[in-house]
Amino acid sequence: MKNPTTDGVASPPWYAKRSFHVVALAIIAIVVVIEGLVCVFARENDYAWHFRMGNGFLAGDPYRNLGSWYTVGRAMLDGMIAVLPYHAGRALCYLSAVAMTALGFSLWHRMAQCYRPTAKATALAAAILTCVLLFPYIIRDLDDAGPQLTLLFFLTMGAWCVLHSRSLFAGGWLALAATFKTTPVLFLPWLIYTRRFKAAAWMAAFLVALNIFLPSLHLGWPGMLRSNSEFFQTARNSLKNDDPSQNAVEPSRPQNQSLTMAIARYAMTFPEGHDLKVDHPLYMQFGSLSPASAGMLTKGLTLALLGVLAWRFRRRWGQKEGTEDIVTEWSGLMVLCALLSPLCWLQHLVLIIPSIFLSIRGWLADRDEGRVHPRWRIAALVFIGVVVLLLQRDVVQRDLSILILSYKLDTLVGLLAILLAATLPEPQPTDADVIPMTPDARHLVTRTA
């Protein structure tokens, strides 16, 4: 029997051992099966709402008895699922979300190899630890059959296609994401800002196809125009709202973790009986701005955040194709798609998965190479773990969990995820980086003692 010490070969760390991977993946598989049964047969939630909207689309009126805050194209996509039996549709969406999440981890690892080559065992451990750290977010979304995980995959494919200079496919995936949920339309001006004009043009073209041309084939031109008019009226009402404590979608709730609600929480004082006032002795209020002043503050801080990210992720003139900072750029922007939405429930924050995965991956890679990882990044991950795993309704009493949610700690988690993404190391341009590489184009040399 060989002795690792006498042979001069370092024993792999616990997270790189095959036994850890096998046990962890077996547990994940069991959880996926159990959660699948719960999702398909024991839950009535957002999927049921979208099933009704899909049936409305098939009947020629997507928004009958429902709110018009989703695009007409999303109603069309819901209609494609509504043709299936209810439980069969839930099962299909659930299984698709699980498969797309697994594939998404692989794609983010392969994209990250451009700036930080890492062993596959280390990347797999990072994916497992990310699932553990964000388990409550992930399981909440899987209860709904995984719509936010599906959105995450659409955005991931957009990043993959942009990195590989496939403008047509990038535009298609991003248009699908912006149709599925409105806030990813943020990527259209971002593509223009970063001078990815072909991808921006294709995204605009696919948005027209998905929300005007294709729906009109079923609704007819008048029905399509009427439905789009309802949607844009809701969007205008949302944009015109000067009170950040309210939204045009539904009554305000303390559980909403959107950036707008977080700023309102600390900038305003809510009277007794207000939807956001929590009846609890530990509930404290801070600012006393008027709704109009708080609204101006919200817009100012949001624009400042966008400005900082625009400066951080600016694309330099003359920069070679294939050396863009796609990994750090898009993993941060994805989080904004959740935080800038009028409604941001905890399950929406699965969009921080790439940022957390890349951060843990970098931490483990530093351990592999004997480097000291920045302590503040480790502290940020620990804080995220405490908030996500411990300060939620399955651990603390329900009333206390609502109080905690009212302090918008999960919004802070999202902002920390953006910070972690924005401070990832930039890719180091090499001749190999100029041309997009296959997964086997780089090989790592395992460290020996």
End-to-end Cα spacing for the chain: 19
Divide the 449 residues of the chain into consecutive groups of 10 and give the mean pLDDT of each group.
52 90 97 96 87 92 81 94 94 97 96 88 97 97 95 97 94 97 95 94 98 95 93 84 83 93 94 90 92 94 94 71 71 94 94 97 91 93 96 86 95 96 70 38 35
How much is the pLDDT for 248?
Answer: 75
Only one residue has tokens 């003139």, namely 317
Q: Who contacts 14 (Cβ-Cβ below 8 Å, separation ≥6)? A: 20
pTM value surpassing 0.85: yes
A 10 A CB-CB count for 113 gives 19
Can you tell me whether residue 267 is helix, strand or coil? helix
- The CB-side HSE value for 11 (13 A sphere, CA atoms) comes to 8
How much is the pLDDT for 9?
Answer: 59
- Per-residue HEC secondary structure of 40-73 comes to HHHCCCHHHHHHHHHHHHHCCCCCCCCCCCCCHH
A 10 A CB-CB count for 384 gives 24
How much is the pLDDT for 446?
Answer: 35
Q: Which amino acid is residue 15, in one-letter code?
A: Y
How much is the pLDDT for 445?
Answer: 34
Query: Cβ(378)–Cβ(166) under 8 Å?
Result: no
Only one residue has tokens 């296959």, namely 438
Question: Alpha carbon of 430 to those of 29, 114, 134, 194, 379: distances in Å?
Answer: 39, 9, 34, 21, 32
Q: Who contacts 62 (Cβ-Cβ below 8 Å, separation ≥6)? A: 53, 56, 68, 72, 75, 76, 79, 219, 227
